[in-house]
């Protein structure tokens, strides 16, 4: 794994569905529980779909919707979902 990280110098390109390219950071991650922020998901992506797609990286312990700060009158989702999972993979990719 260390040699892979050295070869890619800790970053890799990711091509989005719309053709846009992003540079992502790749690093070693411990095998414990992590909280991952899933942002820019369309509202139609429901929890079972997200749980299923994240389960290949580890055991999903829970999913919460992040909300706008309390200064707003009503609690509103900001479109970010927090996925808590126990990792089974050793590489962490940060968009």
What total of structural domains would you count in the chain? 1
Question: CA angle 16-35-51, nearest 5°?
Answer: 65
- Taking only the tens place, the pLDDT of each residue in 67-85 is 877 777 777 778 889 999 9
Question: CA angle 78-81-44, nearest 5°?
Answer: 80
pLDDT of residue 90 exceeding 60, the answer is no
**Cβ-based neighbour number of residue 67 at 10 Å:** 13
Rounded CA separation 24/80 (Å)? 18
- Taking only the tens place, the pLDDT of each residue in 31-60 is 678 888 888 888 788 899 999 999 988 899
pTM above 0.75, yes or no: no
Contact (Cβ atoms closer than 8 angstroms) between residue 23 and residue 11:
yes
Domain with residue 43: its CATH number is 3.30.70
Residues of the domain holding 54 = 2-94
């Amino acid at each position: 794994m260390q040699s892979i990280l050295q070869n890619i110098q800790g970053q890799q390109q990711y091509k989005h569905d719309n053709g846009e390219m992003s540079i992502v950071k790749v690093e070693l991650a411990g095998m414990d529980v992590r909280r991952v922020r899933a942002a820019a998901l369309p509202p139609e992506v429901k929890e079972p779909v997200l749980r299923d797609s994240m389960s290949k990286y580890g055991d999903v312990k829970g999913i919460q919707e992040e909300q706008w700060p309390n200064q707003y009158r009503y609690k509103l989702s900001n479109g970010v979902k927090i996925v808590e999972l126990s990792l089974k993979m050793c590489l962490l990719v940060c968009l």
